[in-house]
């Protein structure tokens, strides 16, 4: 695993093209992967001490959770975005500890970063 400051720096410099690539990979995730990782990513985002999600992204995640739509492709995409912002190391630990689809997603996201 890369050092945390270096990883956080890469996440902060994420371009819209890179974000679109990550969203495309997330769109291809299986239903099983989505149902396994979304609850863990939501907990990661909610437990963040950084408070960086008091923005539009945080409102979208709250809306998806409120309407029980967090375990969807869109939910996964937004949770990936949030988890990369608040705790990139924790994000990769979750994906690498999940099913094969999540592990593959982690590899693809690392290649983008």
The model's pTM is 0.83
- Which of 46, 35, 103 is CA-nearest to residue 73? 35
Residues 70, 42 contacting (CB under 8 angstroms): yes
Residue 103's pLDDT band (cuts 50, 70, 90)? very high
Q: What is the pLDDT of residue 97?
A: 94
d(CA 35, CA 41): 11
Q: Report pLDDT for 64.
A: 87
Q: Which band of pLDDT confidence, cut at 50, 70 and 90, is reported for residue 69?
A: confident
pLDDT tens by residue, 28-48 = 999 999 999 999 999 888 876
Q: Following DSSP, what letter does each residue of 86-106 receive, concatenated?
A: H-HHHHHHHHHTS-HHHHHHH
Q: Can you read off the two tokens belonging to residue 96?
A: 């690498």
């Amino acid at each position: 695993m890369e050092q945390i400051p270096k990883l956080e720096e890469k996440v902060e410099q994420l371009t819209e093209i890179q974000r679109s690539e990550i969203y495309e990979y997330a769109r291809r995730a299986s239903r099983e992967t989505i149902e396994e990782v979304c609850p863990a990513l939501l907990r990661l985002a909610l437990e963040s001490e950084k408070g960086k999600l008091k923005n539009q992204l945080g409102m979208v995640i709250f809306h998806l959770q409120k309407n029980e739509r967090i375990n969807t492709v869109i939910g996964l995409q937004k949770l990936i975005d949030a988890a990369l912002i608040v705790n990139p190391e924790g994000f990769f630990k979750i994906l690498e500890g999940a099913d094969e689809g999540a592990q593959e997603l982690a590899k693809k996201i690392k290649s983008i970063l």
